[in-house]
């Protein structure tokens, strides 16, 4: 049984409701797509302070996968392919290309712009459900274009710290919703931004207390590099 931060868990139950609201309601009222746009803009601001923290705590889609999809997921181990660069960037190019073309085709009409974001959330949700049912619920979050973008644009921001006390027991990997193994980064001392949503699951579950996140005002890796 994975222990979690109860506040994160509670927030995710509320946030998860936004997915059916936008994906289903948006086909009747396309302006609901602006909710998705607002969340994307929030993410783009927050990432410069806290890296992929948004993914772990605020993303409605991530919350939907972790709180709802989990009940029908087969929870199979995710293939390493999901973390391969080419696979991540293939999805980035395909989905961002689709969004750009549809935005150009909207001709600046506000309702059609909203419909583009409804369509994007629908496509992403369908893909996430397919992968999340067969593998672990948050499989999608390994190669979601928004997650990749945050990780790459903020490589040194608010990184998960790994202390030498780590005993390589593997428990943190089991606790991680995206199957990252923080213990594997003991030598580097930090987990790469792209590979971590700062959800704290591994921090809470590490028996050696070898993992930690810096305070939100200090974004310093063990290397001592302040950003």
Q: SS3 for 176? A: coil
Which string of DSSP letters, residue by residue, matches 52-82? THHHHHT-HHHHHHHHTGGGT---BPPPGGG
Nearer to ligand SF4, 116 or 166 (CB): 166
What's the burial of 163, exposed, middle or buried (CB within 10 Å: 0-12/13-18/19+)? middle
CA distance 98 to 174: 34
Instruction: Output the smallest distance, CB 172 to ligand SF4, in A.
Output: 3
Q: Please report, as ranges, the residues that interact with ligand SF4 according to CB under 6 A.
A: 55-56, 59, 61-62, 140-141, 144, 146-147, 160, 166-172, 175-176, 178, 180, 182-183, 191, 196-202, 206, 208, 210-211
Nearer to ligand SF4, 32 or 39 (CB): 39
Instruction: Output the smallest distance, CB 109 to ligand SF4, in A.
Output: 26
Instruction: Output the smallest distance, CB 101 to ligand SF4, in A.
Output: 20
Nearer to ligand SF4, 30 or 182 (CB): 182
Instruction: Output the smallest distance, CB 23 to ligand SF4, in A.
Output: 13
CA distance 140 to 23: 17
């Amino acid at each position: 049984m994975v222990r979690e931060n109860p506040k994160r868990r509670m927030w995710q139950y509320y946030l998860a409701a936004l997915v059916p609201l936008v994906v289903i309601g948006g086909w009747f009222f396309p302006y609901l797509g602006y909710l998705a746009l607002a969340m994307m803009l929030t993410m783009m601001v927050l990432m410069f302070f806290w890296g992929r923290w948004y993914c772990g705590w605020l993303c409605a889609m991530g919350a939907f996968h972790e709180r709802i999809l989990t009940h029908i997921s087969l929870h199979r181990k995710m293939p390493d392919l999901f973390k391969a660069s080419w696979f991540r960037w293939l999805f980035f190019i395909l989905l961002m290309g689709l969004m750009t073309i549809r935005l150009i085709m909207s001709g600046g009409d506000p309702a059609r712009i909203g419909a583009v974001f409804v369509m994007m959330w629908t496509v992403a949700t369908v893909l996430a459900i397919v992968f999340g049912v067969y593998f672990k619920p948050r499989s999608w979050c390994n190669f979601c274009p928004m997650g990749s973008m945050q990780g790459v644009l903020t490589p040194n921001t608010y990184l998960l710290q790994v202390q030498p006390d780590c005993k390589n027991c593997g428990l943190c990997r089991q606790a991680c919703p995206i199957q990252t193994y923080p213990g594997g980064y003991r030598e580097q001392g930090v987990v790469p931004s792209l590979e971590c949503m700062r959800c704290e699951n591994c921090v809470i579950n590490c028996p050696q207390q070898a993992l930690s996140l810096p305070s939100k005002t200090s974004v310093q890796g063990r290397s001592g590099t302040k950003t």
